[in-house]
Amino acid sequence: MKKFIVAEDHSLIAIGIIELIKNQYPDAQVSVVNTFGALIDTIKKTNFDTLILNTSLLGDHNFEMIYTIKNANQQLPILIVANQENSSYAIPYLRAGAEGYLDKGACPEEFKVAIKNMIETGRYISEQTTNLTIDLLLNNSEAKYDIYSILKSKEIEVAKLLIKGFSNKQISERMQLSAPSISNYKAKIFSKLGINNIIDLHAYFNNHS
C-alpha cells in the first residue's frame, strides 16, 4: 500500500489531489496537513512514499524550508506543486533537494504522470523544465531563467551591492536597514539560488540576469 502526504492549505484543492491519487492507487493511504509545522511533525513520526507540497505553505523562506523537510526525513521524495506558472522556479527547488516539480498550470493528466514517476523512479521533471535545464547547460547567457522572478526586489538590491563588494554593515547603512536584516537577506539569496559565496553570486548574475 502506497502512502502519500499532501501538504495543502486549501481544502478543496486537497480533495482534488486525493481523488487523483486514488484514481491511480485505489488502496493508497493519503494524509493531509495544512500547515508547515504539522507537516514536519508528521514526517518525523511516519514514513511516506511521496510528499506533495504546495509552495504556499512555505512562505517567504520557500527554498530554505526544503532543507528543513529533508532534515526531518531525508528519504522522503518531494513533489513540488508551485503557485507560479513559471518553470524557471523548478531549478532552485530541485537544487534545494526536491525530487519533482509541477507548476500551477499543470493539467490533471500531467499530475497523474508526475505521481506515477515519483512512485516508480522517485523523480519527476516535466518536458518544459527539462528543456529549460538543457538551455542553461548549453547556453547560460541566453537561458530563459529569469532571476527577477526568483528574488524579490529587496533581495536583488542586496545581491547587487554584495557583488559590488559592499559589506553587510555598508549595505545596512545604505538601505537604512539593520545589519541582521541584511544578513537574513543574504542567507535567503544564497538559499534561493543554491549558492554558497559571493563569487558564486557574481557568476550567477553574469549567467542568468
Instruction: Indicate whether 99 and 158 sit together in one domain.
Output: no
Instruction: Indicate whether 30 and 99 sit together in one domain.
Output: yes
CB atoms within 10 A of CB 151: 20
pLDDT surpassing 50 at residue 142: no
Instruction: Indicate whether 159 and 123 sit together in one domain.
Output: no
What count of residues does the chain have? 209
Assigned domain for 180 exists: yes
pLDDT surpassing 70 at residue 57: yes
pLDDT surpassing 80 at residue 84: no
What residue numbers bound the domain in which 15 lies?
3-135
Whole-model pTM above 0.85?
no
Instruction: Indicate whether 90 and 187 sit together in one domain.
Output: no
**The pLDDT of residue 175:** 93
Cα–Cα separations (whole angstroms), residue 160 to 194, 198, 204: 17, 10, 11
The count of domains in the chain is: 2
Instruction: Indicate whether 108 and 159 sit together in one domain.
Output: no
| Cell numbers 508551485: residue | 82
CA distance 93 to 5: 18
Instruction: Indicate whether 40 and 77 sit together in one domain.
Output: yes
**The pLDDT of residue 21:** 97
Higher pLDDT, 71 or 60: 71
CB atoms within 10 A of CB 24: 14
**Average pLDDT taken over every residue of the chain:** 86
Question: In this predicted structure, which of 45-49, 85-89, 104-108 has the lowest mean pLDDT?
Answer: 85-89
Assigned domain for 159 exists: yes
**The pLDDT of residue 143:** 44
**The pLDDT of residue 209:** 56
Assigned domain for 120 exists: yes
Looking at 82, 108, 135, the residue that finishes a domain is 135
Please write the tens of the pLDDT for every residue from 170-192: 999 999 999 999 999 999 898 88
Assigned domain for 142 exists: no
Query: Cell numbers at residue 89, please?
Result: 522556479
Higher pLDDT, 16 or 195: 16
**The pLDDT of residue 35:** 94
Q: Long-range pairs for 27-31 at CB < 8 Å and ≥24 separation?
A: 27/1, 27/2, 28/1, 28/2, 28/3, 28/4, 29/1, 29/2, 29/3, 29/4, 30/3, 30/4, 30/5, 30/6, 31/3, 31/4, 31/5, 31/6
**The pLDDT of residue 140:** 53
Assigned domain for 182 exists: yes
CA distance 54 to 207: 29
**The pLDDT of residue 141:** 45
Instruction: Indicate whether 75 and 167 sit together in one domain.
Output: no
